[in-house]
Amino acid sequence: MTVLHAGIATFLGASCVSPERVALEEAQATVAVLGLPDDTTTVTRPGASHGPRAIREASSHFAFGGTYHFDYGVTISDHETVVDCGDVNPVAGNAARTFERAEAALAEIHSAGAFPVLLGGDHATLIPGARAAARAMSGRMGLVMLDTHLDTAPDIDGEELSHCSPVHRVLDLDNVDGTNVAIIGAHGAANPKLELDVAEAHGVHVFSVRDIDRLGIGSVARQALEAVSDGTDGVYLSFDIDVLDGAFAWGTCGPELGGMTGREVVQALEILTRANLIAMDCVEVAPFLDPSGNTARVGARVVLDVLAGRLAAGD
């Protein structure tokens, strides 16, 4: 019997396992959840540091029934051993040291052969997530990001570790080419022209909400899938909850009017999980900005869709 509200709040009620290779191998972990409760690089509203805990608590509602996903016809627990590695302990006011700690934990997860699920935190979470994944690979890495914002800023007032700059830091990696990077869902009045110029200069594929309206989400997701998979050995998936219209997920630091719908996100993930995904993150859930708890629930659902989609794609 699944217990919904008792005990420690781990993702899907998973066992707690230290983010160390030996412990993960002993647990036979195939999926490892790791929280990065840090939002010290945000330039908008704070609150995403509470995201990992809120997503874990919300996930308990999906654990009821044995993690069966109706849309994909798979029971995740029949195929995956999901463990929860707890949270990285952030260093207050020092993003560089915080990210070093995250990268070290993620390196252990990769070395154990488990699929890392990184819960943010602000979108700078992508920086250590992508760095660790890139180091764990022998070939080229692709990146697909669902986000309202481009996040390609070179820096913010000289600071290169920012939630406005994670894509630029990914482009800095030796085994990432801009032509293997795709951003889905960009729109609105909070994308500086400089960030679009950076994306275009690196050959990044940008699919705006207007492109989704014009082409359909299926076509956009398939084009993105082709771009990030072309010549790469693995793809990192980054999901910023603010890609959704503010009406669907208002508990985030930079919500926008006119974003993607929930159904478009579900359809996109079904296609994107056909990629050879090597890691993922879900970021920018700020639960105190959404008293209903809905945004955290959406974050948990995104992770579940990725896990189930990977299984269905492998059939």
Residue spans per domain, the chain: 11-314
Please write the tens of the pLDDT for every residue from 106-132. Answer: 999 999 999 999 999 999 999 999 999
- Quote the CA–CA distance of 93 and 74 in Å, as a whole number: 42
User: Distance of alpha carbon 54 from its chain centroid, rounded?
Assistant: 15
Task: Please report which confidence band the pLDDT of residue 1 belongs to, taking 50, 70 and 90 as the band edges.
Answer: very low
Tell me the CA distances in angstroms from 309 to 225, 269, 315, one per residue in order.
14, 7, 10
Please write the tens of the pLDDT for every residue from 175-220. Answer: 999 999 999 999 999 999 999 999 999 999 999 999 999 999 999 9
Between helix 294-314 and helix 262-272 the angle, nearest 10°, is 30
Q: Which amino acid is at 130?
A: A
Task: Please report which confidence band the pLDDT of residue 2 belongs to, taking 50, 70 and 90 as the band edges.
Answer: low
pLDDT of 157 > 50? The answer is yes
Please write the tens of the pLDDT for every residue from 258-281. Answer: 999 999 999 999 999 999 999 999
Please write the tens of the pLDDT for every residue from 27-60. Answer: 999 999 999 999 999 988 999 999 999 999 999 9
Q: What angle do CA 248, 254, 255 make, to 5 degrees?
A: 25
Residue 3 has a pLDDT of 55
Ranges of beta strands (E only) in 131-227 are: 141-146, 181-186, 205-208
Q: What angle do CA 153, 175, 185 make, to 5 degrees?
A: 45
Average pLDDT, the chain: 95
Over pLDDT 70: what percentage of the chain? 97
- Quote the CA–CA distance of 229 and 222 in Å, as a whole number: 11
Please write the tens of the pLDDT for every residue from 229-245. Answer: 999 999 999 999 999 99
**DSSP reduced 3-state for 262:** helix
- Quote the CA–CA distance of 242 and 120 in Å, as a whole number: 13
Residues 6+ apart with CB under 8 A from 188: 148, 149, 256, 257, 258, 259
Please write the tens of the pLDDT for every residue from 168-177. Answer: 999 999 999 9
The superfamily CATH assigns to domain 11-314 is Ureohydrolase domain (3.40.800.10)
Residue 102 has a pLDDT of 98
